[in-house]
Structure formats: C-alpha cells, structure tokens
Amino acid sequence: MRPGESAPHAVLACGEVRTCLLPAQQALDSRAAAQLLGLRADERVLLSERPNLYGRSPDILTGVDCPLPSANGSRVRAVGTVAARASLTEGRVLQSSAYFRVPAAGPDHRRPWGHYLVRPGVVEPFGTLPREAVAQGLLAGGRHGDLDVGLIAGGLLTRLLRHPLLDQRPPLKSRPTRLRWVALPADPGDGPSIERFTLAEDELRTVRLRVPEDTRSADVAGLCDDLALHDWLLTTVVRILDGIRLGSAPPPARPRPTAEDDRPPVVRALRPAVDHLLHLWMPRARVAEQLAPLWDVLEERPGFTRQWQTLVQRIRDQLTLHAIPSPHREVEPVP
C-alpha cells in the first residue's frame, strides 16, 4: 500500500476526463506517443500494444487549498493534491484525466505541505465531510473558487496540445468532451454499480458510481477514461453522420474540394471516420477486472456497442453505395 492509500479510508472519489482527437494528420506510433506523454524525465510512460495501442503518462500532482463544491451551500475547506495523467489510444484519441479522493474527516487546520505530498491524489477536508452534498456539488460543478478538477484536466490537456510533435492538422472536425464522475462507497458486500450516467450539456457527461471500499481511485479513473473514450467515439461519429447532406448537391459553404479531390461530399465526410475512428471501439480494454462488469449495464441500456455497430453499418453502406458509379444507381443513397 502507498502511504496514505491505506488509512484514512477514502469515502469519496471524484474526477474529470477530457477526450479529444489528437490534432495531427497521422496517428502517433508508440515511440512518438512515449515522447508526447513523457511528462517526467525520470518516469516511464506506460506503453501497451494488446489489445490495442495505448500509452499513459505518469501521474503529476497539483496542489489545492479551497472549498469543495457542495449542493447545500456548506463550504468545506480542503487541502491536498489532485493527480492528473494523460493517455493516448491508438495514437489518435488523447485524454487527460484528473482525480482525487477524500477521507471522511480531517483536522481543522492546514498541515505542512510535506504531509500532503506523500499522499498523492488525496484531498483532506477540514472537519467532517458532508459526503452526499459534496458528491452532488462536484457533479453539478461548483461556484467560482470551489475546487475545480476539470481545470486541472484542462490544464494538462492544454500543455500536451502545445507539444511540438503535433502538426495541428486534425483529419476531421470534432469536439472535445468532458466526463465528470464521483464514486461513493458501495454498501458492504455489494459490488460496484453505476447509479447514473447523464448526458448533460453538449459536451458534458456525468457519472455517479458506487464502488467497494478497497477500490483504488486510479482504477475508477481508468474505468471512467474508458467510458469517456467510447462516449466520445459515439458522439463524434453521430455528428459526422448528422453533418452529411443527402443527394448530390455539395453543401455550398464547405471548404471547396481541391482539384484532385472530386469524391462526392458524403464520401469526403465519411472517409476520415473510416480512416481514423472505426477501429477504436474496444470497451473494457483496460478496465480493472473488478470494475469491468459495469460496462454490462451500459451495453444493456442504452446499448453502447449496439449503437456503435449501427453507425458503423450506416457508414459502410453509404460508402458501398457511393462506390457504385452514379449512372448505375437507381436512387440516391440515403443514410
């Protein structure tokens, strides 16, 4: 056990994941991924090639001393460190993930900083933690000046996006998403469960979990990274299909095709999805064994993989139809 990983027990864990397309024309190979994710000179980047290409940076810490957001307006001050790390899947999807856990109670004064530094990713409350109110507050987002774990994830993402390895030529237009999560302890004897998965504003998703007390917060963060990755894939592909126009008239306002690119607009819009996104679907690839069953719930309802397969099929059908020369088509393809 790490110092601080043992006692006192965390009774609340929280995090936020940012997910975006890597702004580079070509996906990064393992070596380049290691360069991008090498946030520290002395720590290895975790690299894995099975079941897909994946790299993860070491954790870095950010110190905080501020109130925790809460739903009932109580302002509980807390001090400690928030851990953050970045990951890259198949050299194409970049994620930054910040997370921390909170024990049930702490002393009502601030301790020397060295105390907090040897408890990475722990934020200690002053006094007793009003757990439920803070859990709700964290998901809803706090007031200005409350602990904002999204800022830390966003700050890390900004740092990575400035890396000179990236040529800033993303192969398709897409929007980053945010997934904010909290995990509360499950009742003794119960397994982990997802209490709620909400698509909030355009780019925000919130997830409320119950996990057994001995679950590592890094593992919960890993599960949420996986959920965020697949939710982003669905969101992005749905938007690509939303954006294509039917029939043969090219949308007048899109950037004009270059002279050599005389493919139909539908093909031009769908092709990047095939080149860069369709092979990325692999739920549970890196989820801790104990938490993997949580995916089953989402597969049941709303059916993540079912939706994905439908989208993939639509894209393939469109491309197949457009592969047939126009004069031989009896009807214009309709997605």
Partner 1 sequence: MTDAVFRETTAEPRTQAVPLSHLSLELGHFYMEDFEAGPEHLRHHFDRVRPWVEAARTVAADRAGGRRPRISTCFLIDDYFTRFSSPAELVPLLLAEADRAGLVVDYLARESACADAGKVPVAEAVAGRLVEEPPPGSYGIRPPATQTGWLANGERSPVARAPQAMKKATAWQPPKETAARRHSVFLDVELWSDTPGGHRTWSCPFLAAVWQLARLGLLRNQGEPVLVPHPHTASGFPEDWDELPPLIRLNPRADPFAAYRTCSVLPNRFLPVEHAVRVILDQTEVDPEALRQVTERSAREAVAVPDSVADRVSYVFYAGA
Partner 2 sequence: MLVFAASDKGGTGRSVTSANLAYQRALTGDHVAYVDFDFGSPTAAAVFDVPGAMRGTEERGLHSYLEGDVTEPARIDVWRQTEHPLLRARPNQSGRLVLFPGDAGGGEFATGEDALERCADLLLRLHGEFDLVVVDLSAGRSYAVDMVLAATAHPRMRYVPFRWLVFHRWTRQHVIAASGLVHKENGIIKGGVDRGHDEQTLRDNIRFVRAAVPDPESPLWAQGSPAQAAWMQACDEALRRLAAEHRIGDSVVLGVVPLEPILQWREQLITEEDVLATQIANKETLEALEEIARRLTDDSHWGRP
User: Which strand (E) or helix (H) includes residue 210?
Assistant: strand 204-211
Neighbours of 238 (CB within 10 A): 13
Choose among partner 1, partner 2, none what residue 303 binds, the Cβ cut-off being 5 to 8 Å by kind.
Answer: none
Give the rounded distance of the alpha carbon of 305 from its chain centre.
17
Choose among partner 1, partner 2, none what residue 113 binds, the Cβ cut-off being 5 to 8 Å by kind.
Answer: partner 1
Between 94 and 311, CB nearer to partner 2: 94
Least distance to partner 1 from the beta carbon of 256, Å? Answer: 40
Least distance to partner 1 from the beta carbon of 7, Å? Answer: 12
CA atoms within a 13 Å half-sphere pointing along the CA-CB vector of 82: 26
Least distance to partner 1 from the beta carbon of 155, Å? Answer: 6
Choose among partner 1, partner 2, none what residue 251 binds, the Cβ cut-off being 5 to 8 Å by kind.
Answer: partner 2
Could you tell me if residue 141 is left (phi over 0), alpha (psi between -120 and 50 degrees) or otherwise beta? left
Place of tokens 């006094």: 127
Confirm if 85 and 60 have CB atoms less than 8 A apart: yes
Between 104 and 151, CB nearer to partner 1: 151
Residues 87-116 vs partner 2: string with x where CB under 8 A?
Answer: ------------------------------
Least distance to partner 2 from the beta carbon of 243, Å? Answer: 7
Map the footprint of partner 2 across residues 16-75, applying CB under 8 A: 20-21, 23
Between 100 and 308, CB nearer to partner 1: 100
Count of residues touching partner 2 (by CB under 8 A):
29
Question: What does 47-109 look like in DSSP terms, one character per residue?
Answer: EE-SSS-EEEPPPEEEEEEEEEP-TT---EEEEEEEEEEEEEETTTEEEEEEEEEEESEE-SS
Least distance to partner 1 from the beta carbon of 98, Å? Answer: 8
Map the footprint of partner 2 across residues 245-274, applying CB under 8 A: 245, 251-256
Question: Hey, what's the torsion of the CAs at 223, 66, 83, 149, to 10 degrees?
Answer: 40
162 binds partner 2, rule: CB under 8 A = yes
Confirm if 265 and 254 have CB atoms less than 8 A apart: yes
* Region near partner 2 per CB under 8 A, out of 90-98, 120-128, 174-182, 215-223: 174-182
| CA angle at 282 for the pair 14 and 243, rounded to the nearest 5° | 90
* Region near partner 2 per CB under 8 A, out of 97-105, 170-178, 297-305, 311-319: 170-178
Report the alpha-carbon distance of residue 103 to residue 95 in Å, rounded.
27
The two structure tokens encoding residue 157: 């993402």
Between 21 and 221, CB nearer to partner 2: 21
Confirm if 266 and 249 have CB atoms less than 8 A apart: no
Residue ranges in contact with partner 1 by CB under 8 A: 1-3, 39-44, 46-50, 60-66, 79, 81-82, 110, 112-115, 117-118, 120, 145-152, 155, 284, 286-289, 292
Contact residues for partner 2, defined by CB under 8 A: 20-21, 23, 144, 151, 154-155, 158, 161-162, 164, 166-170, 173-176, 202, 243, 245, 251-256
